[in-house]
Structure 1
Amino acid sequence: MANRRTTTMQSHTGGGIRASFLKVILLGDGMVGKTSLMNRFVTNKYSETLLRTIGVEFLNKDLIVNGQTYTLQIWDTAGQEQFKSLRTPFYRGSDVCLLVFSLTNRESFENLEYWKKEFFYHADVHNYEFPFVLLGNKSDATDSRVVNQDEIEEFVRLCPNMEYYETSAKKNENVEKAFIAAIDKFQKFEEDALNKDPFKNDPNKVDLDKIKRKNRSCNC
């Protein structure tokens, strides 16, 4: 998990607004629509002629979620094996990961476990409750769908702290909703981490307050 970084945005009234900086990674096979999703979310544009990503690309977008302002740096990583050495250095420091597959491509769904494992390894993430959002893209191609809902639900059930959205970059269905959900999950993940007591229910925990009280009552 990256340390919280902040940047200053200009408000409409000319004042400065402190914004948290989040690194968001899009992962999945090539041609599942990661670049289209990123472009639709950031620029609200869609093109049928987008070229495959070579290595990595990124775009920024400011977003307010639950009253908190975030600057999202969204990284689109090439899904082809030959670009593995280029994409993996960018996993580290990620705050959120969006796993993407195509509802019209069974192999892209079957490869999700590979992408998740690769992310954990190269991002050096050890908390398996890390905030993931799973995107089944190309929901508009209903006649070409080859991945059924039961399979998807089973994958999500086995992944702690994961949510699933069916998206269409072409028709702009659930795209912004999925990114907002990712930030929601990040916020909850951060809150849970802050609220957890690493010594809770630990029989070896030393109660310093108890020791102080005992020392104060000693007459020796």
Structure 2
Amino acid sequence: MLKVHRVIIFSQIWDTAGQERFQSLGVAFYRGADCCVLVYDVNSMKSFDNLNNWREEFLIQASPSDPENFPFVVLGNKVDVDGGNSRVVSEKKARAWCASKGNIPYFETSAKEGVNVEEAFQCIAKNALKSGEEEEM
């Protein structure tokens, strides 16, 4: 539960952990979503490379009314690992990918240490609220 502009937002978060076996459940999980959060591991190029697949899969499964403007937020997670020495995806590369997909908001996070988690969820909630309001119009 988050509060945005004096509105209380309740959220459901589905974590598929990037596992292929959850792709067949996409319609049930994604339909009706107001925002999609894509998370990758900054220490894994494969994880980053899969962002395209997960974004496209979400758009297919959720079938939003306006896919070009559907809100996404990208989180580059695990920035705390090994003091940043094992990092393989630069912030610049991630931001460039986000820009190429319509200026998707991007946050570098550490779920373990709580770095940027609150800020990311505030952004997610604001985007979800905005998306929900636009659909009602």
Q: Same fold, TM exceeding 0.5?
A: yes
Q: Is the counterpart of residue 84 in structure 1 residue 26 in structure 2?
A: no
Q: CA deviation at 1:191?
A: 5.2
Match of 1:42 in 2: none
So what's the TM-score if we normalise by structure 2?
Answer: 0.87
Tell me the distance in 1 between the aligned counterparts of 2:9 and 2:37. 17
More strand by share: 1
Q: CA deviation at 1:192?
A: 5.5
Tell me the distance in 2 between the aligned counterparts of 1:163 and 1:146. 20
Match of 1:130 in 2: 70
Tell me the distance in 1 between the aligned counterparts of 2:92 and 2:77. 16
User: Which is greater in Rg?
Assistant: 1
Tell me the distance in 2 between the aligned counterparts of 1:85 and 1:78. 14
Match of 2:102 in 1: 160
Which structure ranks higher in relative contact order (CA pairs < 8 Å, sequence separation ≥ 6)?
2
Tell me the distance in 1 between the aligned counterparts of 2:126 and 2:119. 10
Match of 1:115 in 2: 54
- Paired AA for residue 183 in structure 1: A
Tell me the distance in 2 between the aligned counterparts of 1:73 and 1:66. 19
- Paired AA for residue 89 in structure 2: V
Tell me if the contact between 1:165 and 1:174 (Cα under 8 Å) persists in the aligned partners. Answer: yes
Name whichever of 98-107 and 185-194 sits farther off: 185-194
- Paired AA for residue 11 in structure 2: L
Secondary structure of residue in 1 paired with 2:105: strand
Q: CA deviation at 1:86?
A: 3.2
Deviations 1:66-90 (A, max 9, x none): 1111111111124222332234421
So what's the TM-score if we normalise by structure 1?
Answer: 0.56
Q: Is the counterpart of residue 68 in structure 1 residue 21 in structure 2?
A: no
Tell me if the contact between 1:132 and 1:161 (Cα under 8 Å) persists in the aligned partners. Answer: no
Q: Is the counterpart of residue 95 in structure 1 residue 34 in structure 2?
A: yes
Seq. identity, %: 43
Give ranges in structure 2 of 5+ residues lacking alignment.
none
Tell me the distance in 2 between the aligned counterparts of 1:134 and 1:99. 5
Q: CA deviation at 1:110?
A: 0.6
Aligned runs of 1:138-157 on 2, under 5 Å? Answer: 138-141=78-81, 142-157=84-99
Q: CA deviation at 1:152?
A: 0.9
Give ranges in structure 1 of 5+ residues lacking alignment.
1-61, 196-220
Tell me the distance in 2 between the aligned counterparts of 1:86 and 1:189. 23
Pairs aligned (count): 134
More helix by share: 2
